[in-house]
Chain A
Amino acid sequence: MQTCNHPSVDLTLLEDTLAEYAGVKGSLISILQKTQEIYGYIPIDAVYRISERTGASPAKILGVATFYSQFRFQAVGKYLILLCKGTACYVNGADRILDAVSDELGIGNNETTEDGLFSLSVVACLGCCSLAPVMMINDKTYGSLTPDKARQILRDLRKEAEAQ
């Protein structure tokens, strides 16, 4: 099936996952998680390939994928920032951290910087409430943030990326 205006992806990368899960009932979410691990997001071409192999309709697959906050449909930057807005973070000023991060990077929630370095995603709770406010960048958690500290972390990461 043809769709337009999206980058094509190498679908052979999906083969191992499909070979392992396609016949296992109830494994659609696991397949989608593996797909996102491979591509960094859920490419629409992959949805059609999963549909062909599992027999689930593209509508069903997208219905499941869009239900869960983990799944993304666009590529994300090198650093994915999960900014926590759970209760403890909210009470401790998460809004000010969000403002600082948005201002520093020039992006809002679910957006990626033009250089493809940072993506920002506001999440419900990272479970590090005693260190609120908190953000997680690529599985590393940063706690007890202040607006200045958050800006500094992003600047350090940018420097790190430029040095590479």
Chain B
Amino acid sequence: MTARIVVGEGSCGLAAGAAAVYDALKEKLAGVDAKLGITGCVGACYLEPIVDVYDGAGALHRCVRVKPEDAGTIAGAVKSGDYASLADIAIQPEDEGFLSKQTRIALRHCGVIDPESIDEYLADDGYQALEKVLKTMTPEQVIEEIKISGLAGRGGAGFPTWFKWNAARQSKGEEKYLICNADEGDPGAFMDRAVIESDPHNLIEGMMIGAYAIGCSEAVVYVRAEYPLAIVRLTEAIKQARERGYLGKNILGTDFSCDIRIKAGAGAFVCGEETALIESLEGNRGMPRLKPPFPAEAGYWHKPSNINNVETWANVSWIINHGGAAFAAMGTENSKGTKVFAVTGKVKRGGLVEIPMGMTLRDVIFGIAGGIRDGRKFKAVQLGGPSGGCIPESLLDTVIDYKSLQATGAIMGSGGMVVMDDSTCMVGIAKFFLDFTTKESCGKCVHCRIGTKRLGEILNRIVSGEGKEGDVELLEELCNTVKAGALCGLGQSAPNPVLTTIRYFRDEYDAHIRDKKCPAKACPALLTYAIDKDKCKGCSACAKKCPVGAISGEVKKPYSIDPAKCIRCGACHNTCRFGAVTVE
């Protein structure tokens, strides 16, 4: 068998330099009996660029952090058959654990098949579920199977998928629409991008199964504009599926007809909310509608519509192929199946992690992602993006399911998991999210528009050293008012980052307000820079670097900083080679 060399070309891989690696391999493999190809993102983003080398017997030799100059080594190994020569770039056992400890359903093809080839998808059971559904099942049976699976919306709300499908099916009307929410706006979540870039046919197949179950003849994928590669790959996949008869009129020779088109979003976080997304699809400002009526009754163009997010669709074909019961066998009593998390921040191994519900946060952060890097200490994990919350170390044994996470004040959300160490200020992170929601508030309702603005102002005061006694109580009161009064999910959940940081890290708020200190040493206005006379060698490097001339002294004698002039930029601290500049 011919050896195969596959380069991971998802956005992360490309950002890490995969295109240059591919070009170098192409050059070095000229004349060698080997097939060079691409795949999407396997999810071990921290190891990119990743090159999978399958030898003549089909065994995988995974190479990581590959540079263009390694192409010769890889070509040499393929030519000689001496794969041990890849040792320097081979994946290490602890890194293999990152992938082997996962259970992959939604991501099962990601980083395995070529996303630009329908044949590779077909070779891995692709479109078999669609064929099974169209030829052997009634729409009611499909909905029943999804009900048995217990699949719930993976975009954040966790609403039972079968219920939405059934409601849209039961709605009166000839014209019904199917919508895929690919407006993955939570900063820190990127599983939907990975699915579209790495396995676009799986999304198409899932959507067509849903369209058949509900009775839709038109489907739209609303993709955020920041994902250009996803749009390119999905466009190509739709074209291929149409050519092979999996999309369009009389799919697979049956009476069922449905087509998909792509609509590129234009950058608005609130459009992840389903009614705002519909407004945007109709060419308007993306402002949420009042519910009810729900989209199942009156959605796109006020016709019955069903909206699910990418990860939800990515589970559908697997459920049909393996049965709802197999999916429901994984997870906890109230949360079935697997969930993909985007683990990022201060972890050793960052990337996409798909695990069965029921594992603990500790299993994911320490067991799979390797814990905190640079020898620092875990402080908090932020779940659910701007709608979620920060969970402290004492709750790391919380089981991952919808209910348990909600009980902590955070939410499952779309699966963003940003891990923070002791250098992250918790008041600062609350302010970061409030800045975000203030900017992204659509402005329709007062509670969200003004409430987030005022919350942000109070937080800004606290991190600037101007916090007052009573500020925390004021924040809490305002948070509860915004939660109660906002129209849509964005506003209702915007206070969560503030409430959870107050709940678990009240001492940090108090330190900022009472002592005018930032325990994480992250808020510039609250820092004091000084020079340790015992460590200072009098080299004058810091004085030369200081932009405001706040440092003075004589060469070879200890220097000192004038606190009245110091603007706390940290340049001296970063410059000193002797660790003599202290920060308090």
Interface residues of A (CB under 8 A from B): 25-30, 32-33, 63-64, 67-71, 82, 85-92, 123-132, 134, 139, 141-144
Q: Is B418 an interface residue (CB 8 A)?
A: yes
B140: shortest Cβ distance to chain A, in Å? 32
Which 4 pairs, one residue from A and one from B, show the smallest C-beta to C-beta distance? A130-B45, A86-B187, A68-B266, A141-B15
**Per-residue A-contact encoding for B265-308, CB less than 8 Å = 1, 0 else:** 11111000000000011111110000000000000010000000
Q: Specify which chain B residues have a CB less than 8 angstroms from the CB of A33 in the assembled complex.
A: 225, 264, 266
B382 and chain A: residue at smallest CB distance? A87
Per the 8 Å Cβ criterion, residues 424-468 of B in contact with A are 424, 429, 432-433, 436, 440, 442
A82 and chain B: residue at smallest CB distance? B226
Interface residues of B (CB under 8 A from A): 11-12, 14-16, 45-46, 48, 184-190, 193, 225-228, 263-269, 280-286, 301, 342, 344-346, 350-351, 382, 385, 416, 418, 420, 424, 429, 432-433, 436, 440, 442
**In the complex the two chains form, is B432's CB within 8 Å of A87's CB?**
yes
**In the complex the two chains form, is B16's CB within 8 Å of A91's CB?**
no
Q: Specify which chain A residues have a CB less than 8 angstroms from the CB of B226 in the assembled complex.
A: 82, 123, 125-127
From the candidates A30, A32, A142, name the one contacting B15 in the complex (CB within 8 A).
A142
Known: A29-B283, A67-B285. Is A91-B346 also a contact (CB below 8 A)?
yes
A-B contact pairs, 22 of them (CB 8 A): A26-B283, A29-B280, A33-B225, A33-B264, A64-B285, A67-B286, A87-B344, A87-B432, A88-B344, A91-B344, A91-B346, A91-B424, A92-B346, A125-B189, A127-B189, A127-B226, A127-B227, A128-B190, A129-B342, A129-B418, A130-B342, A144-B16
From the candidates B265, B283, B344, B416, name the one contacting A64 in the complex (CB within 8 A).
B283
A126 to B46, CA, bound (A): 16
**In the complex the two chains form, is B15's CB within 8 Å of A129's CB?**
no
A32 and chain B: residue at smallest CB distance? B266
B347 and chain A: residue at smallest CB distance? A130
A91 to B422, CA, bound (A): 11
B424: shortest Cβ distance to chain A, in Å? 6
A135 and chain B: residue at smallest CB distance? B15
A61: shortest Cβ distance to chain B, in Å? 10
A63: shortest Cβ distance to chain B, in Å? 6
**In the complex the two chains form, is B266's CB within 8 Å of A130's CB?**
no
From the candidates A88, A134, A143, name the one contacting B418 in the complex (CB within 8 A).
A88
A70 to B223, CA, bound (A): 13
**In the complex the two chains form, is A127's CB within 8 Å of B193's CB?**
yes
A92 to B442, CA, bound (A): 28
B567: shortest Cβ distance to chain A, in Å? 13
A90 to B440, CA, bound (A): 17
**In the complex the two chains form, is B15's CB within 8 Å of A134's CB?**
yes
- The listed residue with most A CB atoms (<10 A of its CB), out of B188, B225, B385, B432, is B188
From the candidates A27, A85, A86, A131, name the one contacting B45 in the complex (CB within 8 A).
A131
From the candidates A68, A86, A87, A128, name the one contacting B267 in the complex (CB within 8 A).
A68
Q: Specify which chain A residues have a CB less than 8 angstroms from the CB of B14 in the assembled complex.
A: 141
B443 and chain A: residue at smallest CB distance? A67
A93: shortest Cβ distance to chain B, in Å? 10
A63 to B443, CA, bound (A): 12
**In the complex the two chains form, is A125's CB within 8 Å of B11's CB?**
no
Q: Specify which chain A residues have a CB less than 8 angstroms from the CB of B185 in the assembled complex.
A: 124-125
A125: shortest Cβ distance to chain B, in Å? 4
**In the complex the two chains form, is A70's CB within 8 Å of B285's CB?**
no
Known: A64-B283, A139-B228. Is A130-B350 also a contact (CB below 8 A)?
yes
A30 to B264, CA, bound (A): 8
**In the complex the two chains form, is B45's CB within 8 Å of A124's CB?**
no
A85 to B345, CA, bound (A): 13
**In the complex the two chains form, is A88's CB within 8 Å of B345's CB?**
yes
**In the complex the two chains form, is A127's CB within 8 Å of B225's CB?**
no
Q: Specify which chain A residues have a CB less than 8 angstroms from the CB of B436 in the assembled complex.
A: 124
A36: shortest Cβ distance to chain B, in Å? 9
A64 to B265, CA, bound (A): 12
Known: A130-B45, A131-B12, A131-B45. Is A28-B283 also a contact (CB below 8 A)?
yes
Q: Specify which chain A residues have a CB less than 8 angstroms from the CB of B286 in the assembled complex.
A: 67-68
Q: Specify which chain B residues have a CB less than 8 angstroms from the CB of A67 in the assembled complex.
A: 268, 285-286, 442
A91 to B16, CA, bound (A): 20
A159 to B281, CA, bound (A): 42
**In the complex the two chains form, is A70's CB within 8 Å of B266's CB?**
yes
A129 to B184, CA, bound (A): 13
B285 and chain A: residue at smallest CB distance? A67
A160: shortest Cβ distance to chain B, in Å? 16
A85 to B225, CA, bound (A): 16
A139 to B268, CA, bound (A): 19
B449: shortest Cβ distance to chain A, in Å? 13
A123 and chain B: residue at smallest CB distance? B226
**In the complex the two chains form, is B11's CB within 8 Å of A91's CB?**
no
Q: Specify which chain A residues have a CB less than 8 angstroms from the CB of B351 in the assembled complex.
A: 130
Q: Specify which chain B residues have a CB less than 8 angstroms from the CB of A71 in the assembled complex.
A: 266
B362: shortest Cβ distance to chain A, in Å? 19
A81 to B263, CA, bound (A): 24
Known: A26-B283, A28-B283, A70-B267. Is A87-B188 also a contact (CB below 8 A)?
yes
A143 to B267, CA, bound (A): 21
Q: Specify which chain B residues have a CB less than 8 angstroms from the CB of A134 in the assembled complex.
A: 15
B524 and chain A: residue at smallest CB distance? A95
B281 and chain A: residue at smallest CB distance? A26
Q: Specify which chain B residues have a CB less than 8 angstroms from the CB of A143 in the assembled complex.
A: 12, 15-16
Q: Specify which chain B residues have a CB less than 8 angstroms from the CB of A30 in the assembled complex.
A: 263-264, 283
A91 to B416, CA, bound (A): 13
A89 to B442, CA, bound (A): 24
**In the complex the two chains form, is A86's CB within 8 Å of B266's CB?**
no
A143 to B12, CA, bound (A): 8
A30 to B424, CA, bound (A): 40
Q: Specify which chain B residues have a CB less than 8 angstroms from the CB of A130 in the assembled complex.
A: 12, 45-46, 48, 342, 344, 350-351
